[in-house]
Structure 1
Amino acid sequence: MKNKIGLGILSALVAGQFVPNGSQAAENGHEFDLKLRGIYWQDESTPLPTAKTPNPKASEFEQSALGLQLNYRSPYFGNFIGVDASLYGVSRIDSSGVPTTNLVEVGNDGQLRDSYATLAQAYVKLKYDDFAQARVGRQLQSSLLLKSSSTRVVPDTYSGISASISPMADLKVYGAVYDRWRARSTDDFVKFRTESTAAGVDHDIDYVGIVGAAYSAGPMSVTAEYLNSKNYLSKFGLVGAYKIPLDKNSLKLSAGLFTSRDAGKLFVCGAEKELDCTGTGRIDNDGLGVYLDADWKISNFTLGAAIAKFDGFWIEDNFAVDSSRTGKLTQDHGTNPFPTSAALGPDLTNDGETVGSVRIAYDWKDYVPGLKTAFKYSRGTGAKRSNIDSDARGSENYREFDVQYALPFVKNLSVRYMYLNYDGNIEHGTNHPTIKGIPRSDWEQHRVYVDYTYKF
């Protein structure tokens, strides 16, 4: 089977090859670590009743899986060049309900795959003193407008080149160009593409490119970044923050401005399914989003509040789907930099929408070391259709409850539970009763993570 390594073989490699040599390797500058993640998801979505469907049926699924990451990091030979690699393996434990690609992909038979393994990271790393660094190959990505996600069993990875230079101590200039990508639930690296499935419509994106700069000095930091998904979508982001010390506490104030615009022939109706349009023709988009955020740390509490405003539809997805070996489309994520965003459901970035958000977190270290809890609530109002005039208006609510516990009696073992809830509603307009960016439903999800890291 193409590019497959059984999880049994993978375990044997870990136990038989790397473990005996791990301590000696670490002493020579070579580093190995093994990350295990068990994950359980329960999801239920119920459409709101309508005149045509007064008793809608809920859509439900449960999934659980075990993920493994074997990571190797070499030293820089000659203080110039090194090689890093990561082997990812995922095995489905159990599943029921509607098959979805949240943890593993759906096969040709409509059922979830049992397991997969892949060489998810493999890159040559280069550096010149503290001035310049580069990576060539398969790698994780983390920047303002494009981030590998850590919310599934294993993160997604990208294939290409990334580099950064630091002309001064407080400034970093960086960039990346990626032409292939591996989704969170699959093992193959494939080309980027849009969501369009219409016959005769071009949907392949040649590359995703990034250039940015980050400056940080004392209490102030500024980051600016430009992203281009060739012939599909371009984005720009600018974020500034200032941290005010308050005795033993602190107050961080930040603001952001982001654009999301069509960038060529691939931006057609259907390329982004949350846009309101008909047909398959070329369409325009000029989305703008701004936010203000405050984060106040006082003793063991962290209190936060944010407000975001959108003019035009701000699109989260730099690319949205990949073409799997089954010929089907595998949904994946975009990167949402707004503090008002939701981890479940749509993006909360509709045209005309105003989103307010509050959050509170508490570290229980004085009573239960290792325990942290957090709650977030976001509400969006005033959402409009994106590409079609209508007097329909939508509202959204998102709630998130998060409990994390790092077990003090087992090093590097942690457990996390998350409850996520989204509901969207639309005041029906006279011409168009729907807004694609707002599903009229009550959607809730339970997630459980168990994470363990062993460093050889």
Structure 2
Amino acid sequence: MLACSYANADHFFNDSKNSLWTRNYYYDRNYTEVSTTPALKEWAQGFIYSFESGYTATTIGFGLDIQAAAGFKLHADRDQTGAGLLPVDKVTREAADSYGEIGWTVKAKYQQTEVKAGTLMPFTPVIFSSRARLLPQTFRGVELKSKDIDNTNLTLGYVDKVNQRDSTNFENIRISTANGKFKAAETDSVYYGGFNYLFDKSNSIGFYTIKLDDIYQQHVFMSNNVIHLNDSLSLIPDLKYYINRADGKKLAGKVDNDLIAANFSLKHDTHAFSLGFLKSYGDTAFPYITGGEVLFFLDGISTDFLNPREDVFSIRYDYDFKNYISGLKGMVRYSEGHNIYLPNLGGTDLKEKETAFDIQYTVPEGKLKGLSVRARYALYDNDFASTAAFKPDHEFRLGIDYTWNF
């Protein structure tokens, strides 16, 4: 009996993984119009330690994951805080010198089905853990993932709290109210789930749904494909159709939105050229959880491009410098939204536009393999009223990431 217990423990520890992810992040947003806050500038250093155990050698395997994260202020003047890297005192506007948190997740596995409970970092089209600042956004709840059905990835989950990227406390989950799109509302009951069916490694379809109790429901149908036109040329369509409606007591007010998100990429060797479209229908904006982004092709830096009735066109070019400098990649993108309906913020046919640049170098080999330096720059403009959440700006972000696995 004792030998059996030791054997179970061996799998728990011998199959475990330890890593330390370090992130140095500089954020600099300068507003181009007169504002009470002319700029947001924060610089911080983050550390995220992760322990992922193996599973006990029992019919149902059991395990434990631990994540410890800490952030440290390097620079943040009181009149320029609010970039989301550091917690900020609501009264003094001072950024914290440091902050940290520890998350625990218990897990169980049977065949190809895994259940986790505790601190979660979901990654689905309807809810996902944002890593767009210093420390990742986390949720508290239960999630099941299964691959027991052939060619199918199934996800089911329930979360009741969120720990935002610049916070150490779990709080209720809220709908984003940027630009006054919805009334402020929160819930401690969120259900989500869905599946991806893979025809092969390059072609799949899927469906996901989420319910923020008494706020909104969202459903998304999706298709991802890679069409090989010849040995060096591929067409990559990425299609999503969202249906958004109010739920229960409608605490955020009316939610009535359908959204088509379509992106078509043509890839040839080191070049990729993309055309993307967002087409919004209905009386309201697209709803999503505050503190994060929406997981589709258009990753706006200074805006979300999800206002009521907004139509968006985006053109993008990517280049891989691997023939000259292995590990270096660059991107430039222009996006424009029009037909925006915000009568309380300037009109019923408003516009916004963003030009974004992104360059990233990842060390491909050697002792520093995996060290990544990423710089992002964006120029954003709109004709909204000055009280809008998104204001014309120039924005620069610099991130240096490295992960030790041991």
TM-score, reference length from structure 1: 0.78
Specify the code of the residue in structure 2 equivalent to 1:236: H
Which residue of structure 1 aligns with residue 190 of structure 2?
208
**Displacement of 1:355 after TM fit?**
0.6
**Displacement of 1:254 after TM fit?**
2.5
SS state of the match for residue 175, structure 1?
strand
**Displacement of 1:93 after TM fit?**
0.6
On the 8 A contact 2:232/2:269 being kept in 1, the answer is yes
> Aligned Cα RMSD in Å?
2.6
On the 8 A contact 1:385/1:436 being kept in 2, the answer is no
Aligned mates of 2:26, 2:250 — CA distance in 1: 37
Which residue of structure 1 aligns with residue 297 of structure 2?
339
On the 8 A contact 1:308/1:338 being kept in 2, the answer is no
Which residue of structure 2 aligns with residue 395 of structure 1?
351
**Displacement of 1:393 after TM fit?**
1.1
Which residue of structure 1 aligns with residue 268 of structure 2?
298
Aligned mates of 1:146, 1:70 — CA distance in 2: 23
On the 8 A contact 2:350/2:383 being kept in 1, the answer is yes
Aligned mates of 2:154, 2:11 — CA distance in 1: 33
Aligned mates of 2:270, 2:347 — CA distance in 1: 46
Which residue of structure 2 aligns with residue 168 of structure 1?
149
Which residue of structure 2 aligns with residue 225 of structure 1?
208
On the 8 A contact 2:216/2:255 being kept in 1, the answer is no
Which residue of structure 2 aligns with residue 177 of structure 1?
158
Which residue of structure 1 aligns with residue 251 of structure 2?
267
Specify the code of the residue in structure 1 equivalent to 2:381: D
Residue identity (%) = 22
Which residue of structure 2 aligns with residue 69 of structure 1?
48
1:351-394 Cα distance to aligned partner (Å, 9 max, x none)? 222111111111111101111111111111111137x8996311
Figure out how many residues of one structure are paired with residues of the other and give that number.
383
Which residue of structure 2 aligns with residue 113 of structure 1?
96
Which residue of structure 2 aligns with residue 136 of structure 1?
117
Structure 2 alignment gaps of length 5 or more: 1-9, 178-182
Which residue of structure 1 aligns with residue 224 of structure 2?
241
| 1:59 matched to 2:38 | yes
**Displacement of 1:56 after TM fit?**
6.1
**Displacement of 1:341 after TM fit?**
4.5
Structure 1 alignment gaps of length 5 or more: 1-23, 48-54, 269-282, 321-331, 427-433
| 1:375 matched to 2:362 | no
On the 8 A contact 2:40/2:83 being kept in 1, the answer is no
On the 8 A contact 1:46/1:58 being kept in 2, the answer is no
Which residue of structure 1 aligns with residue 180 of structure 2?
none
Which residue of structure 1 aligns with residue 105 of structure 2?
123
Which residue of structure 1 aligns with residue 128 of structure 2?
147
TM-score, reference length from structure 2: 0.87
Specify the code of the residue in structure 1 equivalent to 2:214: N
Equivalent residues in 2 for 1:25-104, closer than 5 Å = 28-47=14-33, 59-78=38-57, 80-96=61-77, 97-104=79-86
**Displacement of 1:170 after TM fit?**
0.8
On the 8 A contact 2:275/2:314 being kept in 1, the answer is yes
**Displacement of 1:317 after TM fit?**
2.3
Aligned mates of 1:391, 1:414 — CA distance in 2: 43
On the 8 A contact 1:234/1:262 being kept in 2, the answer is yes
1:321-372 Cα distance to aligned partner (Å, 9 max, x none)? xxxxxxxxxxx22x31342341222x21222221111111111111011111
Aligned mates of 1:157, 1:172 — CA distance in 2: 22
On the 8 A contact 2:339/2:348 being kept in 1, the answer is no
1:2-29 Cα distance to aligned partner (Å, 9 max, x none)? xxxxxxxxxxxxxxxxxxxxxx999822
Aligned mates of 1:191, 1:223 — CA distance in 2: 28
Aligned mates of 2:287, 2:386 — CA distance in 1: 17
SS state of the match for residue 32, structure 2?
strand
Which residue of structure 2 aligns with residue 421 of structure 1?
379
Runs of 4 or more, structure 1, over 4 Å off, are 24-27, 55-58, 388-391, 434-439
**Displacement of 1:288 after TM fit?**
0.9
| 1:254 matched to 2:238 | yes
Aligned mates of 2:221, 2:35 — CA distance in 1: 43
Equivalent residues in 2 for 1:341-360, closer than 5 Å = 341-345=299-303, 347-360=304-317
- Over 3 Å counting, the alpha-carbon distance change for 1:141 and 1:56 in structure 2 is closer
Aligned mates of 1:25, 1:94 — CA distance in 2: 44
- Over 3 Å counting, the alpha-carbon distance change for 1:344 and 1:56 in structure 2 is closer
Comparing 246-255 with 81-90, greater Cα deviation is found at 246-255
